[in-house]
């Protein structure tokens, strides 16, 4: 451990809670593991089962094969759909090719899909707040492609070519910034006198909790380190939220090897958190690395407890035992 001299006592590391795996991610990862145990390898997975490089590499080592599209899956093979959801067209393609399938879509994403179908069935235009190209947005849009208009930024509201008195509904991707989404919805409410809300908030409980928790630690942190992969929407949002909440600096890392010691110069308080698809072992690795670099063991700051879990897909429910992280 590096000798930090008399300043050592002023240094502090706070690790946010809740962090890491949410119920939907836990369910998706277990789905692949259980399918490998029950059916043997190879098991094909369309897209990354969750957006974390280490999780994907770990499942590949156990026999999972990740593909971008279904034409890469041999006819008759078993394919798992990722936690981010799929469009009906993907499901139809799987059926047409005779693939056996297991759907690991997060139930909270399925809820958004059902809302899209219901609003479209009522003849309402749907304003979907989300990020173009994200798998979740593609899946939701596929449920009602003729009814959905994508909004990526609050300023996009001003560009909408719809009458102000037109009844319109809004939905969101589940992993967005809570604050920015509220800003966008506020502009929609000002613009459309007959705006129809979803029955409940689409941004998932885990996204909300992790953003609230990082706000708590960012308020007194010189630096916030977010553990998560670059294609993880909720991890990227945590960096943004930390900066908005008062952190002097915030960086995303896949693992401890990406920590730049230069970030720690003149830093006394560090906050650490992780996205909803990050195994706890990666957070532990970051905390251990900070100790090696002269910081004390972390103190956990817990905002709320989470107890939600989801049943596995029907094909795998026998002896369904939950394991976290």
Nearby residues of 5 by Cβ (< 8 Å), 6 or more positions away: none
CA distance 121 to 86: 19
CB 28 within 8 A of CB 60: no
Distances (CA, A) of 310 to 173, 205, 247, 318: 19, 13, 34, 14
- Cβ atoms of residues 175 and 276 within 8 Å: yes
Active site residue: 136, 138, 143, 269, which one? 136
C-alpha–C-alpha distance, residues 147 and 125, integer Å: 5
Q: What is the 3-state secondary structure (H, E, C) of 55-90?
A: HHHHHHHHCEEEECCHHHCCCCCEEEECCCCCCHHH
138 annotated active-site: no
Cα–Cα distance for residue pair 207/226, rounded to 1 Å: 14
Residue numbers annotated as active site: 136
């Amino acid at each position: 451990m590096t000798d930090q001299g008399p300043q050592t006592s002023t240094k502090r590391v706070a690790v946010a809670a809740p962090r890491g795996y949410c119920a939907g991610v836990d369910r998706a990862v277990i789905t692949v593991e259980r399918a490998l145990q029950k059916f043997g390898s190879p098991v094909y997975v369309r897209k990354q089962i969750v957006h974390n490089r280490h999780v994907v590499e770990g499942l590949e080592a156990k026999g999972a094969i990740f593909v971008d599209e279904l034409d890469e899956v041999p006819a008759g093979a078993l394919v798992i759909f990722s936690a981010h959801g799929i469009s009906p067209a993907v499901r139809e393609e799987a059926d047409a090719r005779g693939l056996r399938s297991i759907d690991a879509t997060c139930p909270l994403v399925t809820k958004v899909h059902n809302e899209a179908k219901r609003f479209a069935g009522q003849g309402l235009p749907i304003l979907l707040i989300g990020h173009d190209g994200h798998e979740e947005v593609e899946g939701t849009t596929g449920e009602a492609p003729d009814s959905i208009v994508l909004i990526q930024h609050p300023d996009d509201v001003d560009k909408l070519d719809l009458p102000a008195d037109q009844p319109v509904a809004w939905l969101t991707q589940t992993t967005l910034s809570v604050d920015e989404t509220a800003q966008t919805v506020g502009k929609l409410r000002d613009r459309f006198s007959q705006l129809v809300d979803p029955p409940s908030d689409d941004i998932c409980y885990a996204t909300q909790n992790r953003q609230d928790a990082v706000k708590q630690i960012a308020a007194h942190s010189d630096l916030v380190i977010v553990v998560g992969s670059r294609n993880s929407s909720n991890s990227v949002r945590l960096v943004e939220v930390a900066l908005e909440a008062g952190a002097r600096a915030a960086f995303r890392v896949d693992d401890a090897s990406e920590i730049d010691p230069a970030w720690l110069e003149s830093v006394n308080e560090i906050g650490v958190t992780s996205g909803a698809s990050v195994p706890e072992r990666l957070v532990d690795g970051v905390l251990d690395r900070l100790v090696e670099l002269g910081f004390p063991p972390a103190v956990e700051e817990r905002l709320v407890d989470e107890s939600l879990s989801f049943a596995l897909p029907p094909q795998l429910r026998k002896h369904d035992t939950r394991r976290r992280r």
